[in-house]
Structure 1
């Protein structure tokens, strides 16, 4: 598909992607060349800017992103290859039209949580203030974040993610891999990623604290 992206829109999207990339890279959320980011530029047909494959996300270069369609194919002439998991972004944009950005990060906390609860297929947490960061405002809200297996076959992975997408919960964990989160725009999506990561780390630290308390009670 040939699609023209207005120069001002292109510049705005790349600026936003660079800001998020630097922020997440500074937190250590892109180990190696892992993770990927996208911002949608058009809904019908779906067109979005996505990180190019194999890039060091601690650096900014003129060739960090390309624009692709719903089939993860470039809409402009380019030598760049889209991130291997671009089809996952496409599935989210197809199924959740209000999604304007999709961010994927790898952290120790989200990997450990996904492994701890992978067999049950979701991670549940409730009564935590940062759930409001996901635009869920119910008193004492309890949420379940889906977990899918880490299939090397990306089309299969995308299909499995498609099965569990829940517009109320703006994220999906991949077992021992990372989280995909989305929102209406880059600001909202960044907030969702931060809220998820806080919830994961909080839960793991709470488990650790409870274990230490139980050890002390047992030894005393």
Structure 2
């Protein structure tokens, strides 16, 4: 499906969902500075052709403006004539969509995901076991143990995008850039939000548990 054939109602609905999520996450302080980015896929999906709405680069996410989002294709290129630039990390979103076929991806920078990812960065994954909010990731095994992938953070976004296929775990709906932030995804905005909140709870739980042992 070409971008022009995607129903207007679907495009407007995606933008409305992104505004609501942006407002909620900004209220939690999850977008310090102009950091973080959000996206929602629209239209039909194939690994070769898809489109998504994504946050514009360099915007203050604590306020709403008509220039907060734009639509891009599977290569991160704007679908319409615009002066807006997509988020610098749009290529990472595109790669995750291509690999998973998910419907939404949310990326935030928090103190906890930064500290924990730095602590476990050399191991390539953050281990977590027996934490209640692992269930929020759709993993219901008793005393479940998971490993959340961590990849290096480079200044060149294409270098990061190249690492995603090897690092991504299909059972874990998230991946962390070391000392940077988490990307969490889901079939839709509701699921992606649930997964992101669950990851953030897990990171804080790990941090506080380690602090208690010292």
**TM-score computed with the length of structure 2 as normaliser:** 0.95
1:27-74 deviation per Cα after TM superposition (whole angstroms, max 9, x unaligned): 000000000000000213210000011110001111111110110001
Partner of 1:6: 7
Q: SS at the partner of 2:76? A: coil
Partner residue of 1:195?
198
Query: For the residues of structure 2 that align with 1:167 and 1:90, how far apart are their CA atoms?
Result: 16
Tell me which residue corresponds to 1:171: 174
Q: Show the counterpart of 1:85.
A: 89
Greater Rg, structure 1 or structure 2?
A: 1
2:150 alignment partner, one of 116, 137, 147? 147
* Residue of 184, 192, 213 corresponding to 1:210: 213
Cα distance in 2 for partners of 1:2, 1:81 equals: 21
Structure 2 residue matching 1:189: 3-state secondary structure: helix
Residue 67 of structure 1: which of 71, 74, 77 is its match?
71
**Partner SS state of residue 88, structure 2:** coil
**Partner-residue secondary structure (3-state), 1:89:** helix
> C-alpha distance in 2, partners of 1:114/1:166?
16
Provide the rounded CA distance (Å) in 2 between the counterparts of 1:129 and 1:176: 24
Distance 1:209 1:148 in 2: 27
Match of 2:33 in 1: 32
Quick one: distance in 2 between partners of 1:16 and 1:155? Answer: 28
Matches within 5 A, 1:40-51: 40-42=41-43, 43-44=45-46, 45-51=49-55
Runs of 4+ in 1 over 3 A off after TM superposition: none
Could you report, residue by residue, the CA deviation over 1:62-108 in whole angstroms, capped at 9, with x for unpaired residues? 111111011000111111110000000000000001x1000000000
Q: Counterparts of 2:192 and 2:185 in 1: how far apart (Å)?
A: 5
Aligned length: 210
Indicate the SS of the match to 2:162.
helix
Deviation of the 1:207 alpha carbon: 1.0
What's the RMSD between the two structures over aligned residues?
1.2
User: How far 1:118 sits from its partner (Å)?
Assistant: 0.4
Aligned counterpart in structure 2 of residue 76 of structure 1, from 70, 75, 80: 80
Alignment of 1:104-119 (within 5 A): 104-119=107-122
2:188 to 165, 178, 185: 185
Asked whether 1:124 is paired with 2:124, we answer no
2-structure distance, mates of 1:165, 1:186: 20
Gap regions ≥5 residues in structure 2: none
SS of the aligned residue for 1:167 comes to: coil
Q: Distance in 2 between matches of 1:48 and 1:3?
A: 9
Give SS of 2:160's match. Answer: helix
